[in-house]
Structures are given as C-alpha cells and as structure tokens.
C-alpha cells in the first residue's frame, strides 16, 4: 500500500493514476513513487497498561510512512463501554 502524509493525516494512494495522459489501473511501485507516494508500514499497537489507551499516528521517513503509537491516559471517570467507543469509534 502506498500513501502520502497531508497535514499529519494518511492519504492512501488511489487505485489508478494518470501517467503520460493514460490512466493506469493498479500502477506499479515505480509509478506511485514518481507521483510522490511512499510505501506505508503498519505496526502493531503496544500493550497499554491499565488506565491508558494507544493512539495511532504516522511518521514520514525518507523512504516510507510508518505507523506510530502513543500511550494516552484515559479520563478518570470513564467506564469500559465508553473506553471501547473512544478506541473503536462506536458501541460493541
């Protein structure tokens, strides 16, 4: 998978690119690289200690975009269902 970081947000490369006036579906790596996209590397979230959650982010490196993780404290007055909603964006 290829992508770009725009204002800190990962933008996934499209499935088609315009190359020399021709639309190319499922372009080769060289075409993505020439268009400024980089390979995206996903990483596993670390185990969060009790009272913390892991928040995903992205770091642009010279030859890739790599997923990063930050430990974030949960608010003191949050229950398990609310934590699930925060992490996964919705109810179970």
Which residue range(s) make up the domain with 21?
Answer: 2-88
pLDDT over threshold 90, residue 40: yes
* Entry pTM: 0.72
CA atoms within 13 A on the CB side of 68: 13
Averaged over 1-22, what is the pLDDT?
Answer: 92
Report, as an integer, the average pLDDT of 86-91: 70
Q: How sure is the predictor about 13, in pLDDT bands with cuts at 50, 70 and 90?
A: very high
Mean pLDDT of the chain: 89
How confident is the model at residue 91, as a pLDDT? 53
Count structural domains, the chain.
1
């Amino acid at each position: 998978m290829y992508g770009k970081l725009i204002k800190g947000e990962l933008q996934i490369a499209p499935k088609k690119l315009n190359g020399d006036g021709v639309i190319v579906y499922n372009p080769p790596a060289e075409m993505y690289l020439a268009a400024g996209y980089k390979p995206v590397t996903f990483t596993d979230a670390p185990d969060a200690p009790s009272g913390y959650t892991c928040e995903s982010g992205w770091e642009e490196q010279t030859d890739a975009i790599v997923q990063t993780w930050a430990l974030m404290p949960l608010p003191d007055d949050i229950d398990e269902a609310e934590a699930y909603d925060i992490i996964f964006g919705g109810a179970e």
